[in-house]
A and B are shown apart, each in its own frame.
Chain A
Amino acid sequence: MRYAMAIDTKKCVGCSDCVVACQTENNVPVGYCRDWIVEVTDGTYPQLELEIRSERCNHCDNSPCVRCCPTGASHYDEGGIVLVDHDMCIGCAACIASCPYDARFTHPDGYVDKCTFCFHRVKKGQQPACVEVCPTKCMYFGDLDDPDSEVSVMLKKRKYKTLVPEAGTKPQVYYLI
């Protein structure tokens, strides 16, 4: 089992619905977010290109945050999902510094928080909140070990990239380009 996400940059319109759906689903305090939108413009008028991406924790196979966590709060869970155990977390923020994606933040309650791939939903067979809400249906979530899962199929069918691959983290959020 290897959970992963594929996000189609050709369809994402950058509406931030994934951000606000995550905030309500996961009770993320106002002023914080577990996912966010990046827009990259290239070229000069009128020869232009625009890429829009919904970003979040990449649930890396080789996670610097898990490696550097002194208490073991940051850990790999089922299907490779990277989670933080709130009770074990001492809020030292070493993981925040180690993440090349700036995916983590200190929750006002003192622990470090980030995207969980909506593990509480996935466990029940539901899709993550952001995937389920996206009006353009540009996000696919599933098991990479299952060749018939939507995410496996999309990665076979389309060209894709990952973010900051040179960091060697083996990110599991893929961007269809």
Chain B
Amino acid sequence: MKASRRDFIKISSLGMGGALVSGALFNFTKGSILSDTFQASDSFTRTPTYCEVCFWKCAGWVYKNDQGDIWKIIGNDDDPHCNGRFCPRGTGGVGMYYDEDRLKTPLIRREIGGKQVYEEATWEEALDHIALNLKKVIDKHGPECMALFTHGSGGKFFGDFLKALGSNNITAPSFAQCRGPREVAFLATFGEIISSPERIDIRDTRCLVLIGSHLGENMHNGQVQEMSDAIDKGASIITVDPRYSTAASKSNFWMPIKPATDMALLLAWMNVIINEGWYDKEYVEKYTYGFEQLKAHVQSFTPEWAYGITSLEPEQIRATAKEMADAAPAVIIHPGRHVTWYGDDTQRLRAVAILNALLGSWGRRGGYYNPEKIALPSWPHPPYPEPKRTWRDANPGKYNLAIEVVSNGVCDATIPSPDRDCNFKAWIVNGTNLITTLPDQKKTLEAIQNLEFMVVIDTMPMEITGYADVALPECTYLERYDYARNSEHREPNIALRMPATEPKYNTKPDWWIVKQLAKRMGVEDYFSWNDIEELLDWQFRQVGTSLEEMKRIGVKKFPRKYDDLYFHEGQDVYFNTNTGKIELYSTDLLAEGFDPMPVYTAHEEPPNGFYRLNYGRAPMHTFSRTSNNPLLHDLMDENNLWVNPRVGREWGLHNGQEVWLENQDGALSTFPVKVRLTERIRFDSVYMVHGFGHNNKQLTRTHGRGASDTEMITNVKTDPIMGGTGMRSNFVTFRVENPHKEEVTS
């Protein structure tokens, strides 16, 4: 193999300017992140923001102390996303600002003495360099060969930038690596997607069914709050999970299912609910299409049939079906969020959607409500040029039902292949660490090596920044304006984020970066506002408020304009599907050559001596992006490998012992992970929290702590319907000796 075009560069290789670092407000060696003499006092100022530590985007207030330092962040009482209460990550968001490992100044990749290094640059130099190289790519290959990967609010500006240049290859891993299958499945069934925050009415539900959703460990704030309210009101919770999750421990029914067999359970539930006549007959009659086909289809899927597959007692399957039916329509079979598991995920989520339809929970109190948001006009700009090609042309005939750009499709189409006449040549990556976000790291790295140019914009030296041609330090959400948050909810509402303080180090907000780039690329007409305050104020005035008012209140609610929160008794409803009905039998899937009703497929089983790798979240971390945050690192500084004690005995493992992981394809974990022997996990699987095992030394706190699950995900089961990457058909075994020993000698 020839030398790689793009060596991984350690960001400090040319040393960070001492002058830049010395701006630190506090002394970490003393262990305090705020001035020690500080006393909580009344003389504070507060500014509105919405949180950027996860996608929930809770609105809150940033408080500063009398020295003018950021002190704490507290939820905004008027915000329906958080009801005045932030989650631990949002409360600890302060640490993102204070993290001394942040990217501090623009860096440009240079070759010096045959070695690739980063050179510190001024913003002028870095922006000129980017513009020059993007122009080169556009001249040679056309603007359509540029793609944007983004996860976060600032990415919207880069999206506008790409569209202005003539590309609409704007992708977020939140589709194909996460919630994509459920959106496509619900769209096929109800003609509408679930979106975020999920339109589920947990606070008024009488029965909440969680299938692999570990609410409480994933802190989807509003949902965790409402689950707690539901517990108070005596709602029943049914949790299907091979692991005794926190949610399972709060449940009336825990169903310790054999991993990868959820579809069999869903079909058996349908069988019982239909055959016992427990479905909502009026609702099904009035609103749905294909009931007779479905009824015939599920006849063989009895609880006894499912027992052999799921290992769940038929009686438990019947009892839980009854529990749901008794609560209906105030029942929620939860649509989940990260649902890319086995490659037939759209079909599994179709089964979830169908169950909800049978019980009549869509559009009903305690089930799924009708969300609404306001139209916030965009700043006027010339029409965007029509791209000549899109990501679909690079993936001919594939994923036709995908409703967003498939990130792994873009990644695949970056690697040259004889059956494609165009490849992606330039990536802009904002706020997503693709190395740990996309499964199959080898492929991601191969794609990166084939790029002509890559810009990464991030607050932290995440692994992806080491492969960039230019790395730009954006300031954190606490130091910048962004577009207003405008998301669907029970009540339409918007939220403002404004800087609580000046950007630390030599960092800049995304809106500023994009405006500068636009000028250099000749597309400044699309960004004709002078600065973001003018843009925001104009937008706010279109909907009857102003920047001034938003600064004072942070969140503004608007009255609903369209339908009600729930369907009325006997209301005629037109669903946005081919038949105008809720499609139990999907005409869309049929037309694309897929099963119109979900079927059970057996998935791969662990080879002897291997265990299925399940992964999930911890309440104090978001993906891999928070593990270096000083406050959140303090709460959880590494992940553990959950192992059933029976398995532990077989292998002679003890609690706290470090093991390396090896998967079915021979992939080895770079770092060891400590074993946690616990009865809370099935004997056929292991579990770890995602987002650890960072191998970038510049993340000084989290480097080498815990192991990376992504390294073990090499067997990717792509969902043929929408391109989702199923990640749960990977199996690991334990290596008690360091398998990398031989390699460290040189």
Contact = CB atoms under 8 A, between A and B. Distances in A.
A132 B678 CA distance: 32
11 contacts: A14-B216, A16-B619, A23-B631, A24-B73, A27-B34, A32-B31, A46-B254, A52-B246, A135-B87, A136-B228, A137-B225
B243 to A, nearest CB: 10
Nearest to B31: A29
A109 B36 contact: yes
Most buried by B among A10, A23, A135: A135
Interface in A12-26: 13-17, 19-21, 23-26
A1 interface: no
B228 A26 contact: no
A138 B232 CA distance: 10
Given A27-B32, A41-B680, A48-B249, A135 B231 contact: no
Given A10-B250, A50-B680, A15 B228 contact: no
Interface in B707-733: none
Contact of A108 (B30, B72, B232, B681): B30
A120 interface: yes
Interface residues of B, number: 55
A89 interface: no
Contacts of B254: 46, 48
B71 interface: yes
A11 interface: yes
A83 to B, nearest CB: 15
Q: Top 7 nearest A-B pairs by Cβ distance?
A: A13-B216, A15-B619, A50-B249, A136-B228, A17-B88, A24-B72, A29-B31
B421 to A, nearest CB: 51
Size category of the binding interface on chain A = 35 or more
Nearest to A25: B72
Interface in A141-176: none
A26 B679 CA distance: 37
Most buried by B among A20, A29, A32, A41: A20
Contacts of A50: 244, 246, 249, 680
Contacts of A10: 231, 250
B562 interface: no
Contacts of B87: 15, 17, 135
B682 A20 contact: no
Nearest to A26: B40
B173 interface: no
Contacts of B682: 45
Contact of B219 (A15, A108, A109): A15
Contacts of B221: 135
A17 B620 CA distance: 8
Contacts of A15: 87-88, 216, 219, 224, 619-620
A159 B547 CA distance: 50
A138 B228 contact: yes
A68 interface: no
A90 to B, nearest CB: 19
B31 A30 contact: yes
Given A17-B88, A27-B32, A29-B31, A136 B679 contact: no
B416 to A, nearest CB: 46
A120 B36 CA distance: 17
A125 interface: no
Contact of A20 (B71, B225, B231, B632): B632
A11 to B, nearest CB: 5
Contacts of A93: none
A10 B630 CA distance: 30
Contacts of B679: 41, 43-45, 48
Contacts of A26: 40
A87 interface: no
Contact of A19 (B30, B33, B88, B244): B88
A140 to B, nearest CB: 12
Contacts of A32: 31
B413 interface: no
Most buried by B among A27, A31, A50: A27
B68 to A, nearest CB: 15
Given A16-B619, A41-B678, A30 B244 contact: no
Most buried by A among B231, B254, B679, B681: B679
Contact of B644 (A19, A45, A136): A45
A133 interface: yes
Nearest to B219: A15
Given A17-B88, A45-B679, 16 more contacts: A15-B87, A16-B635, A16-B636, A17-B86, A20-B88, A20-B631, A21-B72, A21-B88, A29-B33, A45-B682, A48-B244, A50-B680, A133-B75, A134-B85, A135-B219, A136-B228
Interface string B61-105: 000000000011111000000001111100110100000000000
Nearest to B701: A30
Contacts of B34: 27
A7 B40 CA distance: 25
Contacts of A135: 85-87, 219, 221, 224-225, 228
B631 A30 contact: yes
Contacts of B84: 132
Interface in B197-234: 215-217, 219, 221, 224-225, 227-229, 231-232
B503 interface: no
A170 B227 CA distance: 33
Contact of B680 (A14, A17, A45): A45
B616 interface: no
A21 B95 CA distance: 12
Nearest to B632: A20
Nearest to A108: B31
A48 B72 contact: no
Contacts of B683: 45
Contacts of A29: 30-33
